[in-house]
Structures are given as structure tokens and as C-alpha cells.
Amino acid sequence: MHRRTFLASTLAVAALPHVLSATTATYDPKPQEVSIKSVYKTGQLLVVPSSHYLYFVTAPGKAMRYGIGVGKAGLEFTGTATIALKKEWPTWRPTDEMIERDPAAYKRFIGNTDAQEGGPNNPLGARALYLFENGRDTYFRIHGTTQPSSIGRSVSSGCIRMINEHVIDLYNRVPVGTVVTVL
């Protein structure tokens, strides 16, 4: 083997991982069964904001994967919580922090306790799963959305958004008490 061939081969092999990582799979928000590490417990929800996916562990090593939208940088929830409440067509009110960050967008909610009724125009969409830590509301939710184009992006005020049909499917699968881990 000549030195030039050796060097060219070495450089090609060294570059291979970069080439392979550049050809990642296309993002697909549709629910689908996937393999997952068997360390996760059946019935658990695992949220991976960096990939914009939520996993519902259905059996050891198996999960349903759903596409999600997540919070903007600095607004996201991380840690472990429990679904303490589930609601169909929930009412919605922005948090005080949301109103403070963008008073123009939420001016109708300033100085009152009004909430938007549930329905197709409600930002929480068709279903909401309320996340609690140590018995206290985190004000973070897994919920539907009126903005399906936000799925696969980091654009919310912190909640985990799903396409309405997908959150209805998840809502029907998970009971109150389900553990949710957000990485």
C-alpha cells in the first residue's frame, strides 16, 4: 500500500461518521410503533424535546411515538411529573408569566380571571393532560393545538403540543397517574 492510498483511505474512514450523521431520517409526526430501550417502564411517557417526539411505552422495548411541538428555549419543562388531571375540550387562560412576557397578545386577560371556553378555537385543542410535580400543578400540559404547523418545532410557551387527533389517541391510552419524564 502506498502512503498516498493509506492517507486517503484514513481520511475517508474518519469522515464517514460525519457523512452518516448528515443523512438523518425525515421528521415524521404521525404516530407509529417503534423500538425503545427496555429500561423504560410500560405505561410511562417519555418526552424528548430535542427530537420533537413523545413516546408512550406500550411494552418492554416498544413504544408509540408521536410528533410534538415544545417550548421555546428557556420556557420548556424538564424533569419528571405525573398526569394528575385529564380534560376533554379544556378551557384555557394564559399564565401570569405569559401575560407579563407579551401583554399585547394577552391584553383581554389582564386584570380579570377570564378563561377561553373549550372548543376548536381554544389553544389547548381537543384534550389536555395536566402535569403535576409532588402534588402541585406545574402549569405545563400535554395538549392539542390549533396550530398543527407548530409540531416538530420549539415555539410554545412551554407546553407539549400534539396534533388534535394524536392527543385524543394518547388521552384514550393513558390514565391519570401516568409518569411523564421530559429529558
Q: Is 166 marked active-site?
A: no
pLDDT digits (tens, 9 = 90+) for 95-132: 888 899 999 999 999 999 999 999 999 999 999 999 99
Active-site annotation holder among 2, 18, 52, 159: 159
pLDDT digits (tens, 9 = 90+) for 69-82: 998 887 888 999 99
pLDDT digits (tens, 9 = 90+) for 151-162: 999 998 889 999
Across residues 152-174, what is the average pLDDT? 95
- For residue 113, report the phi and psi dihedrals to the nearest 5 degrees: -120, 20
The full set of domains in the chain, from first to last, is 25-182 (2.40.440.10)
Say what the pTM is: 0.82
How does the average pLDDT of the chain come out, rounded?
A: 87
Q: Is 2 marked active-site?
A: no
Q: Does 180 have pLDDT greater than 90?
A: yes
pLDDT for res 24: 54
d(CA 156, CA 47): 15
d(CA 67, CA 120): 20
Active-site annotation holder among 2, 18, 52, 143: 143
d(CA 181, CA 69): 16
In this structure, how many other beta carbons lie within 10 angstroms of the beta carbon of residue 160?
Answer: 27
